Amino acid sequence: MKLTLHHIAIAALLMLATGNASAAPAASEISADEEISDGEIRKIDADNKKLTIKHGPLKNLDMPGMTMVFQVKDAAVLEKLQVGEKVRFQAEKIDGKFTVTRIEAQIPGP
């Protein structure tokens, strides 16, 4: 029994030392539906790097569906979007501001 516990302790120390141990769940353990929300672009403010999006619930932010203004992490995405376009996006609160960190156009269904 001591030998087994000894090996477990060494493995745990090695994981900590190499950075392989993490309290956060692996990406495969996080459901994409919890992070991604559907929305519709209502306004694009390229000068201020902002988007107004009418969106469904943002589960990761514990927020109901509404229309609101978001900062964008990457201003280059604004050039690819159009008002009225349906999107799927991820938002996070960064430095106290609600920020779109990932966004893509929805593919129309059949």
On whether the CB atoms of residues 97 and 71 are closer than 8 A, the answer is: yes
Give 71-99 pLDDT, tens digit per residue. 999 999 999 999 999 999 999 999 999 99
- The answer to the question of residue 44 being in a domain is yes
- Number of folded domains that form the chain: 1
The answer to whether residues 56 and 37 touch, using CB atoms and an 8 Å cutoff, is yes
Looking up residue 89, the CATH number of its domain turns out to be: 2.40.50.320
72's CB contacts (< 8 A; 6+ apart) are 49, 50, 51, 78, 99, 100, 103
pLDDT of residue 90: 96
In a domain, 49, yes or no: yes
Q: Which domain holds residue 92?
A: 31-105
Q: What is the pLDDT of residues 41-80, one digit of tens each?
A: 999 999 999 999 999 999 999 999 999 999 999 999 999 9
With respect to residue 70, please indicate whether it lies within any of the assigned structural domains.
yes
Inter-residue contact 40 to 86 (CB < 8 Å): yes
